[in-house]
Amino acid sequence: MKIKVRLFATLRDGRGKEVEVERGESFSTLDILEELKIRREEVALFLINGRDGSFETQLSEGDVVSLFPPVGGG
């Protein structure tokens, strides 16, 4: 299964804007972090297909995961 991962702000350093993570049958956002060597505390916000999810949610083929470090403004 392949999952598209979109990275933002400082999480792009050394990784690029978008990567594909491929693993066995079933995996979660936590597995993606491990694969991309991103510590959990570096991620302040993340979205699965533009919606809130949990780190443990099992992803499905075609899902898009967006990862953000702490950012804000207004």
Partner 1 sequence: MSGYIGKILRVDLSSKTVKTEDLDLKLAQKFIGGRGLGTKMLMDEVDPGVDALSPDNKLIFMTGPLTGTNTPTGGRYMVITKSPLTGTVACSNSGGYWGPELKFAGYDGIIIEGKAAAPVYINIVDDKVEIRDASHLWGKVVSETTTVLENEHGEKVKVATIGPAGENLSRIAAVMNDRGRAAGRSGVGAVMGSKNLKAIVVKGSGKVEVADADKLKEVFSVCMKKIKENGVTGQGLPTYGTAVLVNIINENGVFPTNNFQQATFDKAEEISGETLAEKYLKKKDPCFRCPIACGRYCEVDDIKGAGPEYETIWAFGSDCGVSDLGGVIKANYWCNEMGVDTISAGATIAAAMELYEKGYLKNEDLGDGPELKWGNTDAIVEWTKRMGSADGLGAKLAQGSYRLCEMFGAPELSMTVKKQELPAYDPRGIQGHGVQYATSNRGGCHVRGYMISPEILGLPEKLDRFSLEGKPAWAKIFQDFTAAIDASGLCLFTSFAMGAEDYAGLMNAVCGTKMTGEDFVQSGERIWNLEKVYNLKAGIDSAQDTLPKRLLNEPIPEGPSKGWVHKLSELLPIYYELRGWDANGIPTTDKLKELGL
Q: State in angstroms the smallest separation of the CB of 33 from partner 1.
A: 16
Residues at the contact surface with partner 1, assessed by CB under 8 A: 6, 8-10, 12, 17, 44-45, 47, 49-52, 66, 68-74
- Distance linking the first and last C-alpha atoms of the chain: 37
Smaller CB separation from partner 1, 25 or 33 = 33
Cα 57–Cα 61–Cα 65 angle in degrees, nearest 5? 55
Q: Which amino acid makes up residue 42?
A: E
Smaller CB separation from partner 1, 24 or 39 = 39
Nearest to residue 52, comparing CAs of 65, 41, 61?
Answer: 65
Q: State in angstroms the smallest separation of the CB of 17 from partner 1.
A: 7
